[in-house]
A = this chain, B = another copy of it.
């Protein structure tokens, strides 16, 4: 028997019991005739005492232990004279009378401490040691709890978890597929699913009514920061449900998780904001509402004063940064630099300082009088001491840039509290977005999304204005998930494919089975998918999803621990009927 208790559970009530513990050596301290060893396992840390006077040999043996040795120990629980209130086991220690080294350890390449001396690369190579660190371990345990609570909620609401296949069919729409060559059908390939979208719709047609799955999905994308080629989705679908039913059901899931995981009671109904308003007021389809700083449209009141840039702008909008009127030249220049960065792409920034004395100082004083500027200040609800920041240009681009500037100011002014959570639904997304490269509309969500009934007439005349029954759950500026009501009518689906530029043959080839399925009594249905890694990271209070994944890949899609991907044998290639035509130099 390796243990009677784990290393985190002994308390003052256990005093005088003889216990067996097994775990890792966290720390060794020699104090005169006493040696103290901290023993660690998943559940906690306990202090072992070796008393020179009681057992000399053990003391010698204990002193020979090294960090991360695996030991088994037996002893009597005694009350500590120096209690440690910071440790759950801090009231007691174990006076050891048996010690076995189960396995030695070399000195780890970095310290197994919350603040380690190991860099990213090293920690990834030795991920199994990195996972021993409490800061990483607790994220993985949090992830488990999240999955558990997701299942609890959905099970209680009659959802059935159904596994959909991993070896499916490649479809050119969407992101790039990972493919899997078939040996039994040479020259042919399976694809790994980007999502179980089509299968969950088929399950609705099958009558499963409520489906969910916590499921791996795959996208072969050039990895931007914090993307993983394999990621996990909470994937759900409901039949005989309208948008309202779905929003309520998954608002319930969000509230359940907030309560169960974060201990936060959300008693109010979540805010719902249209996509149009989110863009108009926050320049983002995932607004961070932990702080206000709403945009004000200045397009009208700034015109007609011979300032050409504003006069010609499709849109002029501003935000009010409270108590920033005293910003220095240097600070303002930095903000201008910020909005000019290529990923933001504004041409310049106009500022107006609303001085404490009530006067105005702006970068456009040449064109605008104090009265003009007072009017701007008024519509922006600014007070003396505030700073107005104004961008102009093409509407959509400017809104987005202003959104970035708003977030930057939020950060600078410490308006963003990491312990506050503001969830909301963004609704009424556009059905299509214009792809300027391909000069055509593409589906904003996916080709199965149902247009709003009242916008159906616009499908042919003005597709860009058609709104979809599509919605996103946004928390603190992060898109946690989204979904839509699906088309369940074969004719509407065919029309959508046509609008999206699928030839009849392509549509048939790729989605023929789905369109066929629609002929046999497809119920009205809709659903949602949440980014499980992302949601866990949010609740863990960390920015990167990498640290909520046990064995993540790096930005080049490599697992540096197992050294994958790697070459395969010529024999394997031959069996697959494949030849490598070029390899990375």
Chain A interface residues (CB < 8 Å from chain B): 1-3, 6, 22-24, 40-43, 68-70, 72, 102-106, 108, 126-129, 131-132, 137, 140-141, 143-144, 147-148, 151, 155, 160-170, 172, 176-192, 198-199, 202-203, 205-210, 216, 218, 220, 222-223, 229-230, 232, 240-242, 245, 488-489, 512-513, 517, 519-524, 549-551, 553, 556-559, 561-569, 572, 574-584
Docked Cα-Cα span, A131 to B517, in Å, equals: 12
Residue numbers in B under 8 Å from A108 (CB-CB): 520
The answer to whether residues A190 and B521 also contact, given A132-B206, A140-B208, A162-B550 and a CB cut-off of 8 A, is no
Q: Contact check, A582 vs B187: say whether CB atoms are below 8 A apart.
A: yes
The answer to whether residues A166 and B216 also contact, given A128-B202, A131-B206 and a CB cut-off of 8 A, is yes
Docked Cα-Cα span, A556 to B184, in Å, equals: 7
Most B CB contacts (10 A, CB to CB) among A143, A520, A564 go to A520
Q: What are some 30 contacts across the A-B interface (CB < 8 A)? A: A6-B209, A22-B523, A24-B523, A40-B207, A41-B240, A42-B210, A70-B521, A105-B519, A128-B206, A128-B517, A128-B520, A131-B208, A144-B161, A163-B550, A169-B559, A172-B569, A176-B183, A179-B180, A180-B180, A184-B222, A185-B557, A186-B580, A186-B582, A187-B582, A187-B583, A188-B565, A189-B567, A190-B564, A512-B563, A579-B581
Q: Contact check, B207 vs A132: say whether CB atoms are below 8 A apart.
A: yes
**Contact with A42, one of B131, B169, B207, B549 (Cβ below 8 angstroms):** B207
Give the 3 A-B residue pairs with the shortest CB-CB distance, closest first: A187-B583, A105-B521, A131-B206
Q: Contact check, B209 vs A169: say whether CB atoms are below 8 A apart.
A: no
Residue numbers in B under 8 Å from A143 (CB-CB): 162-163
Docked Cα-Cα span, A480 to B105, in Å, equals: 36
Q: Contact check, B578 vs A580: say whether CB atoms are below 8 A apart.
A: yes
Docked Cα-Cα span, A58 to B194, in Å, equals: 45
Residue numbers in B under 8 Å from A72 (CB-CB): 240
Give this chain's copy count: 2
The answer to whether residues A164 and B551 also contact, given A180-B178, A209-B43 and a CB cut-off of 8 A, is yes
Docked Cα-Cα span, A172 to B457, in Å, equals: 59
Q: Contact check, B557 vs A182: say whether CB atoms are below 8 A apart.
A: yes
The answer to whether residues A185 and B521 also contact, given A170-B568, A207-B137, A579-B579 and a CB cut-off of 8 A, is no
Residue numbers in B under 8 Å from A489 (CB-CB): 103
**Contact with A240, one of B3, B132, B188, B245 (Cβ below 8 angstroms):** B3
CB distance from A494 to the nearest CB of B (A): 15
Residue numbers in B under 8 Å from A575 (CB-CB): 176
**Contact with A24, one of B69, B160, B202, B207 (Cβ below 8 angstroms):** B207
Question: Taking CB as reference atom, which chain B residue is nearest A209?
Answer: B42
Most B CB contacts (10 A, CB to CB) among A162, A230, A558 go to A162
Residue numbers in B under 8 Å from A179 (CB-CB): 180-181, 568, 572, 576
Q: Contact check, B167 vs A564: say whether CB atoms are below 8 A apart.
A: yes
Residue numbers in B under 8 Å from A176 (CB-CB): 183, 575
Q: Contact check, A129 vs B206: say whether CB atoms are below 8 A apart.
A: yes
Question: Taking CB as reference atom, which chain B residue is nearest A68?
Answer: B521
Docked Cα-Cα span, A70 to B567, in Å, equals: 52
Q: Contact check, B189 vs A568: say whether CB atoms are below 8 A apart.
A: yes
Most B CB contacts (10 A, CB to CB) among A565, A566, A575 go to A565
Q: Contact check, B169 vs A523: say whether CB atoms are below 8 A apart.
A: no
Docked Cα-Cα span, A165 to B551, in Å, equals: 7
Q: A22-B523, A148-B155 are in contact. List 16 more A-B contacts (CB 8 A).
A: A23-B207, A42-B209, A68-B521, A70-B522, A103-B488, A105-B519, A132-B207, A151-B151, A162-B550, A166-B218, A169-B566, A184-B223, A184-B556, A187-B582, A187-B583, A216-B216
Residue numbers in B under 8 Å from A155 (CB-CB): 148
Residue numbers in B under 8 Å from A579 (CB-CB): 578-581
Most B CB contacts (10 A, CB to CB) among A43, A178, A559 go to A178
The answer to whether residues A229 and B523 also contact, given A176-B183, A565-B185, A580-B578 and a CB cut-off of 8 A, is no
CB distance from A515 to the nearest CB of B (A): 12
Q: Contact check, B105 vs A184: say whether CB atoms are below 8 A apart.
A: no
CB distance from A516 to the nearest CB of B (A): 8
Docked Cα-Cα span, A22 to B239, in Å, equals: 10
Q: Contact check, B2 vs A242: say whether CB atoms are below 8 A apart.
A: yes
